[in-house]
């Protein structure tokens, strides 16, 4: 993943030279992800937003899987990116609400638990990923009454795009290109309009910005591979599944506004990473670390790609390369307007000698088993607790 000598994670140098078709700018925060498969379960992505161009607008991110998918465990798993983005978005919304009310907050820690399900048979086409309600604990110090504090937290949660993600059902849409040829879809809902260009050529032109050290993502604790236990080595590659996944993130805000997030993968058994996020302001973003929306968007792309590779592995079919160009958008709420997100729109590029029918099946099962596409298509109500500190 880092054989080039470049950092695994970095802000992209001179992004204006990459000839990227950036998402259009409007009042929503649009994010485009260009991603490709690497060795094993490893993936890399270029993530760009509709914020004005500056060195922090484009990021190179990477993802891997742990022993449960026979991965190399060299980077956070896809679900980590979504949980980190969600908890960072909540933190950003909480401080924005406090500023509007002229409240001083202290010792704030957000602890978020995301859970997902996987049930059914890949061989029979019944395996399906699911998303369960998010549990959020708000640990907070503030010199206000209980009712006022509860109202502040409720305002922040409603304003975050994460609320729109969970509140409504969103239907994902796709195009499919196989071995360079655009083909019709199977069960997946088609994305109308022109098909994006294959992103493969972009990655050779991506270089770190000056002084980029990749320090916004680091592994804190490596998991010990264990066989023969739930969530252990190879467990996620079984053709039949009935399991629940659990990802946790704990978020603190530094004095410079950067969010420090500890991400833990409890089920299956995975490593612990620390990740930094920073949203800046709504108009100009930030060059200090990827913003919450970029993490969430990357998580969806990475998770979907894991399911493509996992399905091909289980079916013992050849999928020699796979790439996506994915568009999502996010809107922060304000003054009674709730936060919102749009449906995921993905252009899928598959390289396979096994033909168009397998490619359609691969796309269908990739969407059906993807935990984060399930999160988008499922209406959920988060569980929120407030703890004074």
Q: What pLDDT, on a 0 to 100 scale, did the predictor assign at position 58?
A: 86
Question: How does residue 211 score in pLDDT terms, banded at 50, 70 and 90?
Answer: low
User: Contact, 356 vs 178, CB < 8 A?
Assistant: yes
- Residue 54 above 80 pLDDT? no
Judging by DSSP bridges, how do beta strands 321-331 and 272-277 pair with one another?
unpaired
pLDDT at 34 over 80: yes
> Using a CB cutoff of 8 Å and minimum separation of 24, what contacts does 118-122 make?
118/236, 118/241, 118/242, 118/243, 118/245, 118/369, 118/371, 119/241, 119/242, 119/243, 120/240, 120/241, 121/239, 121/240, 122/239, 122/240, 122/241, 122/311, 122/314, 122/315, 122/365, 122/369
Bridging pattern class, strands 135-141 and 106-121: antiparallel
> Taking all residues of the chain, what is their mean pLDDT, rounded to a whole number?
91
Where is average pLDDT lowest: 27-41, 124-138, 178-192?
27-41
Res 7: pLDDT: 82
CA 249 from chain centre, in angstroms, equals 13
Q: What is the average per-residue pLDDT within 204-224?
A: 82
DSSP reduced 3-state for 228: coil
Burial class (CB in 10 A: 0-12, 13-18, 19+), 211: exposed
For residues 142 and 149, give the distance between their C-alpha atoms in angstroms, rounded to a whole number: 8
- pLDDT tier at 158 (50, 70, 90 boundaries)? very high
Q: What are the pLDDT digits (tens) for 341-353?
A: 999 999 999 999 9
CA distances from 194 to 201, 291, 301 (A): 19, 28, 20
pLDDT at 131: 98
The pLDDT of residue 282: 42
> How far, CA to CA in Å, does 376 sit from each of 177, 187, 256, 287?
23, 17, 32, 28
Q: What is the pLDDT of residue 279?
A: 83
Could you tell me if 2 and 219 are in contact, meaning their C-beta atoms sit under 8 angstroms apart? no
Please state the rounded mean pLDDT for residues 144-154: 94
pLDDT at 55 over 50: no
Strand ranges, E, within the chain? 10-11, 29-37, 43-49, 58-63, 106-121, 128-131, 135-141, 173-178, 181-183, 217-221, 240-253, 259-267, 272-277, 321-331, 340-341, 345-351, 383-388
Average pLDDT over residues 247-272: 96
DSSP secondary structure string, 74-98?
Answer: -S--HHHHHHHHHHHHHHHHHHHHH
| Nearest C-alpha neighbor of 318 from the set 188, 179, 121 | 179
Q: What is the rounded average pLDDT of the residues 225-230?
A: 93
Cα–Cα distance for residue pair 139/137, rounded to 1 Å: 6
pLDDT in tens, 336-381: 789 999 999 999 999 999 999 999 999 999 999 999 999 999 999 9
Question: In whole angstroms, what is the distance from residue 345 CA to residue 34 CA?
Answer: 12
pLDDT at 281: 54
Span 287-292, average pLDDT: 85
- The span from the CA of 1 to the CA of 12, in Å, is 16
Range with lowest mean pLDDT among 125-134, 209-218, 289-298:
209-218
Tell me: pLDDT of 283 over 50.
no
- Per-domain residue ranges of the chain: 10-388
pLDDT of residue 212: 59
- Give residue 88's pLDDT: 97
**Window from 1-5, 45-49, 52-56, 221-225 with minimum mean pLDDT:** 52-56
- Cis omega (within 30 of 0) on the bond before 268? yes
Beta bridge partners of 45: 35, 61
The distance in angstroms from the start CA to the end CA of the chain is 42
Residue 281 CA to residue 185 CA, distance in Å, equals 40
pLDDT score for 169: 96
Average pLDDT for residues 263-277, to the nearest whole number? 97
172 Cβ contact partners less than 8 Å away, ≥ 6 residues apart: 188, 189, 343, 344, 345, 346, 367, 373, 376, 377
21 CB burial (10 A radius; 0-12, 13-18, 19+): exposed
Region 192-215: mean pLDDT is 84
The pLDDT value given to residue 52: 45
Across residues 192-220, what is the average pLDDT? 85
- The pLDDT score that the predictor gives to residue 334 is 81
Rounded to an integer, what is the distance from CA 330 to the centroid of its chain?
A: 13
Task: Kindly report the length of the chain.
Answer: 389
Rounded to the nearest angstrom, the gap between the alpha carbon of residue 120 and the centroid of all alpha carbons in its chain is 24
* Dihedral sign (CA 33, 245, 108, 254): negative
Instruction: Reduce the DSSP state of residue 317 to 3 states and report it.
Output: coil
Q: What is the pLDDT of residues 71-108, one digit of tens each?
A: 999 999 999 999 999 999 999 999 999 999 999 999 99
Residue pLDDT, tens place only, 178-202: 999 999 999 999 999 999 999 999 9
What share of the chain in percent tops pLDDT 70? Answer: 90
């Amino acid at each position: 993943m880092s054989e080039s000598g470049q950092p695994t994670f970095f802000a992209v140098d001179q992004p204006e030279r990459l000839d990227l078709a950036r998402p259009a700018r409007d009042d929503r925060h649009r994010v485009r992800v260009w991603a490709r498969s690497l060795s094993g379960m490893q993936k890399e992505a270029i993530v760009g937003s509709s914020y004005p161009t500056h060195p922090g607008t484009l990021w190179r991110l990477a993802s891997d899987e742990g022993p449960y998918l026979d991965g190399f465990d060299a980077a956070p798993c896809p679900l980590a990116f979504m949980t980190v983005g969600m908890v960072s978005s909540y933190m950003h919304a909480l401080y924005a609400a406090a500023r509007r009310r002229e409240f001083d907050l202290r010792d704030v820690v957000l602890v978020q638990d995301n859970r997902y399900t996987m049930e059914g048979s890949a061989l029979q086409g019944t395996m399906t990923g699911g998303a369960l309600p998010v549990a959020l604990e708000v640990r907070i110090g503030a010199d206000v009454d209980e009712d006022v504090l509860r109202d502040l937290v409720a305002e922040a949660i409603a304003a975050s795009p994460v609320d729109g993600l969970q509140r409504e059902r969103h239907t994902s849409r796709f195009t499919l290109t196989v071995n360079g040829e655009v083909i019709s879809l199977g069960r997946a809902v088609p994305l109308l309009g022109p098909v994006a260009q294959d992103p493969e050529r972009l990655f050779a032109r991506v270089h770190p910005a000056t002084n980029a050290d990749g320090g916004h993502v680091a592994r804190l604790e490596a998991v010990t591979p264990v066989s023969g236990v739930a969530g252990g080595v190879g467990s996620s590659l079984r053709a039949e599944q009935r399991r629940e996944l659990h990802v946790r993130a704990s978020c603190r805000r530094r004095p410079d506004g950067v969010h420090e997030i500890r991400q833990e993968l409890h089920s299956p058994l995975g490593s612990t990473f620390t990740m930094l996020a920073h949203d800046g302001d709504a108009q100009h973003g930030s060059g200090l670390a990827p913003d919450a929306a970029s993490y969430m968007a990357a998580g969806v792309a990475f998770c979907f790609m894991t399911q493509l590779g996992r399905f091909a592995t289980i079916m013992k079919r050849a999928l020699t390369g796979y790439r996506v160009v994915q568009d999502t958008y996010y809107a922060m709420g304000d003054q009674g307007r709730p936060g919102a997100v749009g449906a995921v729109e993905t252009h899928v590029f598959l390289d396979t000698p096994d033909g168009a029918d397998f490619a359609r099946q691969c796309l269908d099962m990739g969407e059906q088993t993807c935990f984060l596409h399930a999160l988008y298509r499922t209406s959920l109500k988060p569980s929120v607790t407030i703890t004074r500190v």
